[in-house]
Structure formats: structure tokens, C-alpha cells
Amino acid sequence: MANKKRLVFIHGFLENASMWQGIISGISKRNYVVNTPELPGHGKNSFLPEVHTAEVWCENILRQLGLEADEQVFVIGHSMGGYLASTLVNMISDQVSGLCLFHSKCGADLPQKIADRHRAIEAANSNKELYVRTMINSIYGEKTKSIHQATIEKHIEYAKQLSLETIVASQEVMISRPDQIATMQQRSFPLFYFLGEMDNSLPLSLMLEEVDQLPGSLAHIERGIGHMGHVEAAKSAVGFIQRILHTDL
């Protein structure tokens, strides 16, 4: 691994490492060792910690990575994966060469979003399959949803197999995660955002407020898409990641 940096992609809630396949295929492996850890209870990671906090879940991710003390790592996190990445990079801040929040944020949830998450837990407890189907359909942009219907159905079928315990624990982690705005204002590494213009999960106006609080951060706004840029705008997402890997802010 000499002279190579780690490039770590962290998937989101109700997803797994395979979400990054299209992105990774467009990234040169000459200078990076690519890792795709999986969140607890997702994909091949069947272990679900008893404590549902961002720090504990990040410890699980770090164990999967097995970083050496002198390794540099560039972290890209989608949605919940980005929420966790914001905590993870502060646990290994001296080793971080960059962070990209892909349809994600480092600020904590606002009260309304927390209330929404509690309602999501109630909905999942009541009818897990209906919750999964409704939730996944809601995160694609209206203009792109019909184009990607087969992918959406595949995503739903995977998510239906996740345990109710994983769904509830994930929401609890997102509810309790720490606000990292102040910490990110003191960061020593570049910070990037890939945002969807029509993202219902993370409204653009809210995201631009966060970007404004973080001097030196760089945001790309992809027009006409929702929360799933790796599907809805795959070519643009690959191009953006290729550019930021060679950008020094």
C-alpha cells in the first residue's frame, strides 16, 4: 500500500456497499486503495452493537478498515454514511486528507427532523415493508423516478430483508448523533458536498445554510435530482469525485 491513500466510501441507511459500484468503477485505483465498509446490520455486516450512537458505530467501521497509524484517508459518505463520516473523521483527524458529504450533512437534526425520525420508527414497527417502500420511493427525484424504477424495486427488495432492529437502531443513531459544525469549522482538511436540487430528505436551502457556516467548503448542486445522485446522476457524481480527489483547498 506504499504511497497509496485510502479512499473510503460509506453507504447510507437501508443500503449496502454495492451502492458504490458504479462510482468506484470510474475511479482510478493507481493512487488509492478503495474500501467500502458496511454499517452495522447492513449488507454483510450482521453485527449490531447494543449501544446505538454514532461513536460506537464509527468504531465498528474503523475495525473494518484496520487503518495503520500513518495512513491517510479520504472519506466519502452518503446520507447516513455521511452523518457517521462527520464523526469518524474527528476520531482520526490527523489521518484525514478530505471529506465528501454525498447528500449528507455534518450538522445535527433539527427538532422537526427528529420528530420525523420518531414517526419513522413507529411506521416501521407498524408495517416494515410499507415503511421501506414508502421511504425509498420518496428519496428519488420526481423527474428521475420513472427512469430508475427497476433500480428502485431492487433497492426495496434488499431493504425489506433488513431486520426491524437494524432499522430502529439506525434511526436512533441518526437522532442522537452529535452536531459537528463547530468541529468542522476547525478542520485541517478539505470538505466537499454533492447535493441534489430536489432532495426532499435534505432540502437545498437547509444545506446551503450549512455550507455558509463552513468557510472553505465546496458544494456541487446537481439540478433536477433527489437524494440518490449515484443513481440519478451517476456520470456527474463520478466526475465530481474524480475532481475533488485532485483538489487542494
Would you say residue 123 lies in a domain?
Answer: yes
Q: How far apart are CA 232 and CA 226, in angstroms?
A: 8
Q: How far apart are CA 76 and CA 72, in angstroms?
A: 14
200: domain range?
Answer: 5-244
**pLDDT class of 249 with cuts at 50, 70, 90:** very low
Torsion of CA 21, 121, 101, 27, to 10 degrees: 0
**pLDDT class of 234 with cuts at 50, 70, 90:** very high
Q: How far apart are CA 135 and CA 129, in angstroms?
A: 10
Q: Are strands 191-196 and 5-10 parallel, antiparallel or unpaired?
A: unpaired
What's the predicted TM-score (pTM) here? 0.96
Q: What is the residue whose three cell numbers read 495512513? A: 71
Would you say residue 187 lies in a domain?
Answer: yes
CATH number of the domain encompassing residue 198: 3.40.50.1820
DSSP code for 225? -
Q: Are strands 73-78 and 32-35 parallel, antiparallel or unpaired?
A: unpaired
- The C-alpha cell that represents 41 in the structure block: 446490520
- In the prediction, which pLDDT does 154 show? 97
- Percent pLDDT > 70 in the chain is 98
Q: What is the residue whose three cell numbers read 482538511? A: 189
Domain count, the chain: 1
- In the prediction, which pLDDT does 248 show? 53
Would you say residue 23 lies in a domain?
Answer: yes
pLDDT in tens, 150-196: 999 999 999 999 999 999 999 999 999 999 999 999 999 999 999 99
pLDDT in tens, 5-50: 899 999 999 999 999 999 998 887 778 899 999 999 999 999 999 9
